[in-house]
Structure 1
Amino acid sequence: MTTQAPPEGTGTAGVFAALTSLETALALLLEKLEPVGAVDLALDLSLGAVAAEALPVAQGLPVADEATADGFAFSAADLVGASSYSPVAFFTEPRRVEVGCPMPGGCDCVLDASLVECRDGLVEAMAEAFPGQGMRRAGDDLRVGGSATTPGRRVSPIDLLIARRLGRTSLPVRRPRVAIVNVGNDRHGPSAAFVADFAASEGAAIAAIAMTPRDLAAIGAAIDRVLADGCDLLVLVGGTGRGAKDHTVAALKSRAETLRHGVALRPGGSAAVGRIAGLPVIALPGTPGEAVAATLALLRPVLDRLSGRRQRLTSTLPLAGKIASSGGLAELVLLQHQGAALAPIATGTFSLESLGRADAFLIVPGASEGFAAGMAVEAFALFEAV
């Protein structure tokens, strides 16, 4: 599907005669694209990667009843009626336990040491306790048959805590390999570095980062080089416009079986998408704001598919201001939390200042007429914590 570009001066997309809709661009990238195979990754490298499978718990934890408080172990039935006015006497000193110690046989509670007096061979308990007080039953932490990780969810610090408690040193995860070609000069260096940082923060592995001048032969050689080294996704940054030195698309055109240049997207309309030998390829504009927008709209869904990630969570809140539609273009809108609402802070052009302030974003579909103030909308977190 294509759409006519808006007049010159309305944004990056205005330089193209016809644009590919965002939906069509994503369909081209995602068609028949399967999650990458699982790899066993050391725990200290797994944080943020997407879990590939559920890990069944073969042995419950703890393996035996254990104390969760320091004190003396008793049977709760032996403490019935105990108080400071009417202590219960014992002629055998109870077993003292500390947090993590196995509970002695026949004991089902732990009484704080301040509530137990020991003198002249006589022990007095001055409080009652209920069964299970100050202790954890065998299997309470993790039950046999349960799961330590959830497939499709990013590995969190809690997942790593559970894995270490189970004695594991690695986890099976899906970690797409992303190769990045930085086209241009130092002016586009920050954008290419952002793409690498973004991909890594989403759990991907950076297979390569190649720097190449804005020269057709050099760009082609860089593409061939990183593809030969192997990757699951190729991303080029810079040189996607129609300037005299913008040769990225030309270098891709001679190698891709499918290529669409110009997406009905604002910002980020000069992006290109395609396939080389079945491999998804995304060419992003080099300007930071445009690169971020195209990354969120195009790169992020591809990484989700390659990593087998579950559908992302959204927040549904009312808008603190209206969002107008340009008509025919999918528009990214940056949002900032304002009390119990979301305030639009940037549409069409993303400055670094607005990106730094934003908490969330949404994409207004090309066929939409926009959103009125007060309307509830679904928004994605701009960047998610693991």
Structure 2
Amino acid sequence: MMRASDTKTLNDVRMRGFTHRTEVHSALAWIDASTTVPLPGETIALEQASARVLSDEVIAPIAVPEFDRAAMDGYALRGNDTAGAGDYNPLEFPVVGHAWPGRPFEGQVPVGSAIRIMTGAPVPNGPDAVVPAEYATEQDGRIAITQAVSPGQHVGHVGEDIARGSSVLAAGRRLRPQDVGLVASLGLSQLQVVQQPRVRLLVTGNEVRAPGTAKSAYEIYDANSMTLRGLLERDGAVLESHLRLGDDPQIIEQALAAPGADVILISGGSSVGAEDHAPRLLEKVGELAIHGVAMRPSSPAGMGRIGQALVFLLPGNPVSCLCAYDFFAGRAIRRLGGRPTEWPYRAQRAIVARKIVSQVGRVDYVRVKLGAEGVEPLALSGASMLSTTTRADGFVVAPAESEGFGSGSEVTVYLYECP
């Protein structure tokens, strides 16, 4: 930690304002350069693997199935023996035994004979096909069949689903429930997955109170923590700790410098007010790479690092906090966790019904409604008005080189729906 005698010059913008704002593409480039590889792998139980990201390729240690098995309930026999069977020419066979899943028929089935067999049961020596039960009638130890089957019909063969030694799932895949089920079918009880980024959530502001606690008329409840916790879960992170710190610089500094997190998020205290200590403290104990971004909202956002941990300064206004997380912190967390860089929002193209105004030189994050006439901007300002994101269907991004989108133009809308 830096001492008072150190000669490092701190860039303090409090009560002075920003002299320069970093362009969004430069901020994104810094994030990508800082997250070139995912976190290391770890071994977890298969029961915990759904939605995790594979760090290693999965190779099949066995074939699936490992034996020829019945694909239907019915009777196993030799397919060539059934030639000519039909409704007007039923063929009869003696039934010499039965096979159940996990309980095979032992021995050889004689030529011209059949065994009763259930779906999933091993096909015994001799038979090579299964006649479905609906085409067979059994009486007094014999069956009459009314449908011919060819050799191999209604039989699942060794390795038909998965060949032993084959590549089943590639590294980098985010596991869906059916993927985990497939791994279970191979007998594997553990998987190597990318570690989940450990995120420390620090909330500043003497006026901020936890929901459910008493507050004065001039204090506010902490909405950002709840928003961020949901976003962290969405992006595959784990919460290392969650602290409400007030505005004491010493307490904030200690929370920043403590080990144990891959990413640190600071909510509030990132702007140019007298009590906005976060940028100065980050620069003191680590590196303040960027402070101030050419976008609206979230212009006071910043980022840097302390040791190997990435640090993101998220503005205290709720919409700015959400926007800065999605543009910057969320991108880093997803990359560290081996997930796709892109937003996990469903996107759709739509026509602008009412002009969306922007300003050249900055990126605008515009909340919008989708109506019968098309896209309408819901709010162009109001970074403290979180309700605009709950009333909006999604958002549109106006790039820095744009003055907005005129009526009738086509835009991409990112939808605020659960992914």
- The partner residue of 2:329 within 278, 299, 302 is 299
* Range 154-163 or range 21-30, more displaced: 21-30
Higher Rg: 2
Residue of structure 2 in register with 1:177 after alignment: 198
Distance change >3 Å, CA 120–CA 303, structure 1 → 2: same
* Gapped regions of structure 2 (runs ≥ 5): 1-16, 97-113, 210-219
* Range 53-62 or range 143-152, more displaced: 143-152
**Distance across 2 between alignment mates of 1:352 and 1:76:** 69
Task: Tell me by how many angstroms 1:360 deviates.
Answer: 5.3
Indicate conservation of the 8 Å contact 1:331/1:348, yes or no.
no
Listed one character per residue, the Cα deviations across residues 323-342 of structure 1 (whole Å, up to 9, x for unaligned) are 44322211224467779x87
**Distance across 2 between alignment mates of 1:192 and 1:263:** 22
Distance change >3 Å, CA 32–CA 104, structure 1 → 2: same
* Range 306-315 or range 107-116, more displaced: 306-315
* Gapped regions of structure 1 (runs ≥ 5): 1-14
Please state whether the residue corresponding to 1:148 is helix, strand or coil: strand
Distance change >3 Å, CA 381–CA 139, structure 1 → 2: farther
The alignment's TM-score, normalised by the length of structure 1, stands at 0.83
- 1:257 maps onto 2:287 in alignment: yes
Structural mapping, 1:321-332, within 5 Å? 321=353, 323-332=356-365
Residue of structure 1 in register with 2:47 after alignment: 44
More helix by share: 1
The alignment's TM-score, normalised by the length of structure 2, stands at 0.77
Please state whether the residue corresponding to 1:292 is helix, strand or coil: helix
- 1:65 maps onto 2:48 in alignment: no
**Distance across 1 between alignment mates of 2:185 and 2:376:** 43
- The partner residue of 2:119 within 95, 99, 104 is 99
Distance change >3 Å, CA 355–CA 105, structure 1 → 2: farther
Residue type of the alignment partner of 1:183:
T
Residue of structure 2 in register with 1:243 after alignment: 273
Task: Tell me by how many angstroms 1:157 deviates.
Answer: 1.0
Residue of structure 1 in register with 2:316 after alignment: 286
What is the root-mean-square deviation in Å for CA atoms of aligned residues?
3.1
**Distance across 1 between alignment mates of 2:131 and 2:379:** 60
Indicate conservation of the 8 Å contact 1:183/1:239, yes or no.
yes
Residue of structure 1 in register with 2:159 after alignment: 139
**Distance across 1 between alignment mates of 2:70 and 2:156:** 6
Residue type of the alignment partner of 1:304:
R
Task: Tell me by how many angstroms 1:376 deviates.
Answer: 5.3
Distance change >3 Å, CA 145–CA 316, structure 1 → 2: farther
**Distance across 2 between alignment mates of 1:36 and 1:98:** 47
Residue type of the alignment partner of 2:335:
R
Distance change >3 Å, CA 156–CA 60, structure 1 → 2: same
**Distance across 1 between alignment mates of 2:175 and 2:249:** 41
Residue of structure 1 in register with 2:397 after alignment: 363
Structural mapping, 1:1-386, within 5 Å? 16-33=18-35, 34-93=37-96, 94-174=114-194, 175-184=196-205, 185-186=208-209, 187=220, 189-225=222-258, 228=259, 230-310=260-340, 312=342, 315=347, 317-321=349-353, 323-334=356-367, 348-349=381-382, 352-356=386-390, 361-371=395-405, 377=411, 382=416, 385=419
